[in-house]
């Protein structure tokens, strides 16, 4: 491993510390009893409550004042200034600990523990006066330089997205706002889970490795199980397993599932993603629309304290009710073309006339989906329900009760992208078999996203599944909106990336 100058200097310091009998990675607890946030928020109202502190954090800056140091430490929720005076740390004649370990041995990025009390400096800054000190972990690589101008704008050497996503641990250290986005993502999941639990629905787990992939139109990842000597697939959805549980007698089941689709990548797509799927017996898609409105409005309130959420140049309002269009209405609204009676050939000609790319493998459903995706979806910024899809687009949805050729399905679109998908679930096993067989025909024509026929799922339906409403809601895309993030990679701790070619040196804080 080739080391740069700063990395060599830090390793030399490491060796010197060990020669002095100091373990730079001690095996001991440091009983932290406060945070920077608690201190900054509570000191003025209760100064006596901060007299006996045990604190720890990462060094973000050091100011050498001769016989004292001012150090800024960063913990998981913020930063605070620390004051270390030589006579406090080394009250006797031997000043080795301070002069060598503190002044010469410490670097930006090191993790230290301190004990002491809180006071205000002459300049009015809340500070911890350290009476005891411990090196807890020596950093062998320097942090990138981070600079902030007078207007508060951050200019740093670690803004390149590829570096940030590849070294998320470093991104979290030097860009604290990144941590906030992931805290909000967890709050979003907790808000959704609590909403569903209060309604009495059961959280479950279903297989990730599946002998047949299904529940969506997507290409799977394929693997092999050695002991069983069989091909398995990473799930593209958990829908068919959750429906089996409804057949088994549960009235409401949901799962936060990791799903995998072997498809293209973009700022809206990652091959590994998270969605929440919910199935409730004796309900339909109209009922599910009301649930989605109520649940997402609650999430916005839990995260932001209001229903208005800033997203890019827009302010999105999740207050109920949301606007609703049928699929055909939305296309006519934004293109001026009524496609409701068009056959496959007419749709293909229409696509070409309005600049929508098509190929001969695409059936009627894919053609309609392409028109919608190109001409309608990007224009739907405020949360909007698109309902009543053509049957060709929805192999798992129940046929519409009053509109021939359509199914009872909706998608919620927000900020120009789908955030959820829902059906009145198809529970007629004969109809379902015919839909699967049509998918097989599309697969034979070259559609590599067509569904496969799942005989065990059909057998489950033949035992009887009650009328059921189903929902899949994308946690990653909803997190993008709720955290005002421009890319799905910004709400995934470790997004998929190409193999690293050359590690670039990062300018250091020295």
CATH code of 434's domain? 3.30.930.10
The SS3 call for residue 104 is: coil
Which H or E element spans position 215?
Answer: none
The SS3 call for residue 432 is: helix
d(CA 233, CA 216): 13
pLDDT mean over 278-302: 98
> Would you state the structure tokens that stand for residue 420, as one six-digit string?
């959820």
d(CA 348, CA 485): 36
Q: Residue for token digits 């002069």?
A: 99
Which residues face 316 on adjacent strands? 309
101 has a pLDDT exceeding 90? no
pLDDT mean over 426-446: 87
Same domain for 120 and 251? no
Same domain for 40 and 110? yes
Same domain for 134 and 191? no
Residues 6+ apart with CB under 8 A from 434: none
> Would you state the structure tokens that stand for residue 347, as one six-digit string?
């749709």
359 has a pLDDT exceeding 50? yes
Last residue of a domain, one of 148, 168, 194: 148
Q: Residue for token digits 């949360």?
A: 383
Residue 372 lies in a domain: no
Q: Residue for token digits 């909106």?
A: 481
Q: 125 near 132, Cβ under 8 Å? A: no
Same domain for 223 and 119? no
Q: Write the burial class of residue 491 (CB in 10 Å: 0-12 exposed, 13-18 middle, 19+ buried).
A: buried
Q: What percent of the chain has pLDDT over 90?
A: 75
Residue 168 lies in a domain: no
Check residue 155 and give its pLDDT: 62
Same domain for 206 and 94? no
**Is the link from the previous residue into 197 a cis peptide, with omega within 30 of 0?**
no
Q: Nearest CA to 107 among 11, 183, 38, 190? A: 11
Length of the chain: 510
Same domain for 196 and 102? no
pLDDT mean over 69-83: 96
Residue 92 lies in a domain: yes
Which H or E element spans position 87?
Answer: helix 86-89
Same domain for 205 and 61? no
pLDDT tens digits for range 254-266 = 999 999 999 888 8
What is the 8-class DSSP label of residue 341?
T
Check residue 147 and give its pLDDT: 66
Residue 213 lies in a domain: yes
Q: Residue for token digits 């409550």?
A: 49
pLDDT mean over 169-191: 95
d(CA 85, CA 68): 4
Domain coverage including residue 104: 5-148
> Would you state the structure tokens that stand for residue 245, as one six-digit string?
């549980």
Beta strands in 21-110 (DSSP E): 53-64, 68-74, 79-85
The SS3 call for residue 160 is: coil
pLDDT tens digits for range 406-427 = 999 999 999 999 999 999 999 9
Same domain for 254 and 393? yes
Instruction: Name the pairing type of β-strands 406-414 and 417-424.
Output: antiparallel
Check residue 472 and give its pLDDT: 96
pLDDT tens digits for range 445-499 = 877 777 788 999 999 999 999 999 999 999 999 999 999 999 999 999 999 998 8
Phi, psi of 8 (to 5 degrees): -65, -45
CATH number at residue 44: 2.40.50.140
The pTM assigned to this predicted structure is 0.88
Same domain for 22 and 144? yes
Residue 349 lies in a domain: no
Q: Please give the distance of CA 88 from its chain centroid, rounded to a whole number.
A: 45
User: From the CA atom positions of the chain, what is the Rg in Å?
Assistant: 29
Q: Nearest CA to 448 among 131, 272, 222? A: 222
Same domain for 205 and 135? no
d(CA 321, CA 449): 34
Residue 504 lies in a domain: no
DSSP H stretches of helix in 327-454: 327-335, 344-353, 364-375, 429-444
> Would you state the structure tokens that stand for residue 40, as one six-digit string?
């900054």
152 has a pLDDT exceeding 80? no
> Would you state the structure tokens that stand for residue 254, as one six-digit string?
């949901």
Same domain for 210 and 255? yes
CB-based burial, 68-93: b 16+ in 10 Å, e otherwise: bbbbbbbbeebbbbbbbebebbbeee
Q: 143 near 51, Cβ under 8 Å? A: no
Higher-confidence position of 299 and 20: 299
Instruction: Name the pairing type of β-strands 126-137 and 111-120.
Output: antiparallel
Higher-confidence position of 392 and 203: 203
State the Cα torsion 292-293-297-298 to the nearest 10°. Answer: -50
Q: Kindly report the average pLDDT of the chain as a whole number.
A: 92
pLDDT tens digits for range 193-206 = 999 999 999 999 99
Residue 123 lies in a domain: yes
Residue 212 lies in a domain: yes
> Would you state the structure tokens that stand for residue 161, as one six-digit string?
């997205």
CA distances (Å), 239 to each of 152, 228, 259, in order?
47, 24, 11
Identify the band that residue 158 occupies on the pLDDT scale cut at 50, 70 and 90.
confident
Number of domains in the chain: 2
> Would you state the structure tokens that stand for residue 355, as one six-digit string?
């600049």
Q: 12 near 147, Cβ under 8 Å? A: no
d(CA 200, CA 202): 7
Lowest mean pLDDT of 139-153, 279-293, 480-494, name the range: 139-153
Q: 150 near 24, Cβ under 8 Å? A: no
> Would you state the structure tokens that stand for residue 319, as one six-digit string?
């207050």
Last residue of a domain, one of 148, 165, 189: 148
Check residue 149 and give its pLDDT: 67
Residues 6+ apart with CB under 8 A from 275: 237, 256, 257, 259, 472, 473, 474, 475
Check residue 443 and give its pLDDT: 80
Same domain for 126 and 182? no
């Amino acid at each position: 491993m080739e080391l740069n100058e700063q990395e060599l200097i830090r390793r030399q310091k490491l060796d010197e510390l060990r020669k002095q009998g100091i373990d730079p990675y001690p095996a001991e607890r440091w009983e932290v009893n406060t945070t920077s946030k608690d201190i900054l928020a509570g000191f003025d109202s209760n100064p006596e409550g901060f007299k006996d502190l045990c604190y720890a954090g990462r060094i973000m800056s050091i100011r050498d004042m001769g016989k004292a140091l001012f150090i800024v430490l960063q913990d998981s929720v913020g930063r605070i200034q620390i004051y270390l005076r030589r006579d406090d740390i080394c009250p006797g004649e031997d000043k080795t600990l301070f002069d060598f370990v503190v002044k010469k041995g410490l670097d930006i990025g090191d993790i230290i523990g301190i004990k002491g009390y809180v006071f205000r400096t002459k300049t009015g800054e809340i500070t911890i006066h350290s009476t005891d000190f411990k090196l807890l972990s020596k950093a062998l690589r320097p942090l990138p330089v981070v600079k902030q101008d007078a207007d508060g704008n951050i200019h740093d050497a670690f803004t390149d997205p590829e570096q940030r996503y590849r070294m998320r641990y470093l991104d979290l250290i030097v860009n604290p706002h990144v941590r906030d986005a992931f805290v909000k993502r967890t709050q979003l999941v907790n808000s959704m889970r609590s909403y569903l639990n209060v309604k009495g629905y059961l959280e479950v787990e279903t297989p990730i490795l599946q002998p047949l992939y299904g529940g969506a139109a997507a290409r799977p990842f394929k693997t092999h199980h050695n002991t069983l000597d069989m091909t398995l697939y990473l799930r593209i959805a958990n829908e068919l397993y959750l429906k089996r549980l409804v057949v088994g007698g549960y009235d409401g089941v949901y799962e936060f599932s990791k799903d995998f689709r072997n498809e293209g990548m973009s700022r809206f797509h990652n091959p590994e993603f998270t969605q929440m799927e919910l199935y409730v017996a004796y309900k339909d898609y109209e009922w599910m629309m009301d649930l989605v409105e109520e649940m997402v409005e609650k999430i916005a309130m839990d995260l932001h304290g209001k229903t208005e959420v800033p997203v890019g140049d827009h302010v999105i309002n999740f207050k109920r009710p949301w606007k609703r269009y049928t699929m055909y209405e939305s296309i006519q609204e934004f293109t001026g073309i009524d496609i409701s009676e068009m056959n496959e050939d007419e749709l293909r000609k229409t696509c070409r006339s309005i600049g929508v790319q098509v190929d001969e493998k695409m059936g009627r459903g894919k053609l309609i989906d392409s028109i919608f995706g190109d001409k309608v979806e990007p224009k739907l910024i405020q949360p909007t329900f698109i309902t009543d899809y053509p049957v060709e687009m929805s192999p798992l949805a129940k046929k519409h009760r009053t509109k021939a050729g359509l199914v009872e399905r909706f998608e919620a679109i927000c900020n120009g992208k789908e955030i959820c998908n829902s059906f009145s679930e198809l529970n007629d096993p004969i109809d379902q078999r015919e839909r699967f067989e049509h998918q097989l025909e599309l697969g034979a024509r070259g559609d590599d996203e067509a569904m496969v026929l799942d005989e065990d799922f059909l057998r489950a339906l033949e035992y009887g599944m009650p009328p059921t409403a189903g929902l899949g809601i994308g946690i990653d895309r909803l997190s993008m909106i709720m955290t005002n993030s421009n890319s799905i990679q910004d709400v995934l701790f470790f997004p998929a990336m190409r193999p690293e070619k050359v590690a670039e040196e990062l300018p250091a804080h020295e």
